[in-house]
Amino acid sequence: MEVITITGDNALDFSDYVSEDILSFLDREFFRGLGVVDNYLSPVGAIVYELMEYDSEKDIKSRIYSFKVEGDEVADLIMSQYREDVGEENVVESLYEFADEETEHYFKHYGFESERMESIELQLSAKDIKSIVEKNGTKKIPSYIKSLSEISPLQYREYLKKLLVHGQFGILEDLAYLPVTWFDGDVSFCSMADGKIDGIFLIRRLPSGTLLPCLFTSFGIDSRKNLGFLMFSAIQRVAEKCEDGTKVIIRRRNTDVRSLTDKLFPGKKGPLVFIGKRAEGEVS
């Protein structure tokens, strides 16, 4: 057996070990994938992770998004290579969040410490989103709120510069590297002032059809009002266009996002998961 790098070219070979949504992340700037193949070059395991704070002066961390293997020998191989690779990247800590006990067993074996707690990801459906419209009614949206599909690449790039200067990345470590077309132009929205973007709500539609809100921010004196319009524009579009079973995953990365979701979806909780971490060190 040997460990190989998973790239966009061979990602589909590992579809039994990594979901299609996470495999799609391997073309992104800070995502890495390692796979194990047997003597017949058939995949027998994989791990996918993201390097966090890589473009900053902060300590680099690794967030593991996927891990699945066929047995202990494969796990040993892949975790040994993982530790070496993150060491070479000067990663100081690895993090993960998994629900299944088999994966948790492996990670504890490799020195991770964890707690069982509520996931930071709130898993909703388009039906949950529609309930907001049913409860509050349809809101009139001003004409200066535009769908992302109506925005030129130049207008987006100009606003992107502003986002980067202000350190506004949402859940995207690699926002600077993602083209406007990476987001769903139908359910993502912008607020405009004098022909320029001054607020944005970016949503990615993953290969599975799941919607992933990525960035929600606004600048200027009307920012609070515009955030409300951006949010309800997206909510009403999802209610109009998406089937009830369409998944929506909101990553509650801070208390502001959690407070908003608690207000919009009272009583909705994330699933119980194992959230773990391990200190890493540079490989000599």
Q: What is the pLDDT of residue 258?
A: 87
Percent pLDDT > 90 in the chain is 73
Fold for 2-119+273-279, please state it.
Aminopeptidase (3.40.630)
Residue 157 has pLDDT above 60, yes or no: yes
Stretch(es) of the chain classified as CATH 3.40.630.30: 2-119+273-279
Detail the DSSP E strand segments found in the chain.
Answer: 2-5, 31-37, 43-52, 60-69, 91-98, 113-118, 121-125, 145-147, 189-193, 196-205, 211-218, 247-251, 272-279
- Cα 169 to Cα 174, 182, 202, 225: the distances in Å are 8, 15, 11, 21
Residue 61 has pLDDT above 60, yes or no: yes
CA gap 277, 108 in Å, rounded: 10
Q: How confident is the model at residue 54 (pLDDT cuts 50, 70, 90)?
A: confident
22 phi-psi bin (left φ>0, alpha ψ -120 to 50, beta other): alpha
Q: What is the pLDDT of residue 264?
A: 84
pLDDT (tens digit per residue) in 94-129: 999 999 999 999 999 999 999 999 999 999 999 999
Say what the pTM is. Answer: 0.90
Q: What is the pLDDT of residue 282?
A: 53
Question: DSSP of 190-213, one letter per residue?
Answer: EEEETTEEEEEEEEEE-TTS-EEE
pLDDT (tens digit per residue) in 169-179: 899 999 999 99
pLDDT (tens digit per residue) in 199-246: 999 999 999 999 999 999 988 788 888 999 999 999 999 999 999 999
Q: How confident is the model at residue 12 (pLDDT cuts 50, 70, 90)?
A: very high
Q: Which class is 122-251 in CATH?
A: alpha beta
Q: What is the pLDDT of residue 57?
A: 74
Average pLDDT on 249-270 reads: 87
Mean pLDDT computed over every residue of the chain: 91
**Residue 50, CB-side half-sphere exposure with 13 Å CA sphere:** 19
Q: Which amino acid is at 228?
A: G
Q: What is the pLDDT of residue 283?
A: 43
Residue 284 has pLDDT above 90, yes or no: no
Average pLDDT on 26-33 reads: 93
- Per residue, what are the HEC states of 139-190? CCCCCCEEEHHHCCHHHHHHHHHHHHHCCCCCCCCCHHHCCHHHCCCCCCEE
Q: What is the pLDDT of residue 191?
A: 94
> In this structure, what token pair is assigned to residue 34?
């390692």
